[in-house]
Amino acid sequence: MKDYYFIFNGINSKDMGIEIVQFPDIIKPERNIQAINVPGRSNSLYIDSNTYNSYTLSITCTLNPFFKNKQSIDKILSWLDGFGDLIISQEKEKIYSACIKNSISISNIIWLFPQFLVNFEVQPLKKSINYRNEFLEITKKSIINNIGTVESLPIITIYGVGDVTLIVNNQHFFIKNVDEYITINSEFLEVYKDNVNQNNKYNNFDFPIFQIGKNTIDFLGNVKKIEIQPNWRWI
């Protein structure tokens, strides 16, 4: 029998006495493409939003008999709840952002059935354990390589003072009156310093993204350094 397991919020299913009966297949997320029927045309017009849909990973589990007591069940039910990071044994190097939506019955676990189902609703794009905490630092014009399979939404902290311009792939992002440092979070579309909102200093409609492959990073103004959490992503 294969060594199947999952890790949710840092806890391994094996340590909770859970044995995997069946794992789902690895799924390629569905891309958001809208088909429009145009009068007078035999073929459809397709609009690609360049995004993907979340989906469900269903894991069929059973409980080791040595763990079938109320204390163990209470711990399992408390653990398998809400949102968190998910790692599955078929893709040990990748991290899913997941939440558990289905109810899990105590009676199902203990008495009625030998199996129970855990449904993880996962975000379509995964991150890498190896590059999860990667930070890049630049002090001059640089080229960085997006090693993922889709565009990256980085977190960029600029250390400097006054009005500065961040340049990513020849696209200019203007930031006013930087006071020591400021962070541009492309994933959450927010600009801040520590916990203080700084959106009023960001004079742009778009946020920086890193295309697949090579990306040029540069800046104008009184900038000491730029720290980047690239957030590489995979389908």
Which residues lie below 8 Å from residue 1, measured CB to CB, with a gap of 6+?
none
Which residues lie below 8 Å from residue 166, measured CB to CB, with a gap of 6+?
156, 158, 172, 173, 175, 184, 208, 217, 219, 226
Q: What are phi and psi of 200, to 5 degrees?
A: -70, -10
Buried b / exposed e across 175-201, counting CB within 10 Å, b at 16+? Answer: beebeebbbbbbeeeebbeeeeebeeb
- Could you tell me how far CA 235 lies from the centroid of its own chain? 11
76 vs 81: CA distance, rounded Å? 9
* Full pLDDT tens readout for the chain, 235 residues: 578 999 999 999 999 999 999 988 888 888 888 878 777 776 777 777 778 899 999 999 888 877 777 788 889 889 999 999 999 999 999 999 999 977 776 655 656 556 888 999 999 999 999 888 889 999 999 999 999 999 999 999 999 999 999 999 999 999 999 999 999 999 999 999 999 999 999 999 999 999 999 999 999 999 999 999 999 999 9
Please tell me the CATH code under which domain 136-229 is placed.
2.60.120.860
Q: 6-128 with 136-229: one CATH topology?
A: no
The SS3 assignment for 119 reads: strand
Q: Is the pTM of this model over 0.75?
A: yes
Domain segments of the chain as ranges? 6-128, 136-229
What is the fold, at CATH topology level, of the domain defined by 6-128?
Answer: Elongation Factor Tu (Ef-tu); domain 3 (2.40.30)
User: What does the pLDDT look like over 88-105, one tens digit per residue?
Assistant: 999 999 999 999 977 776
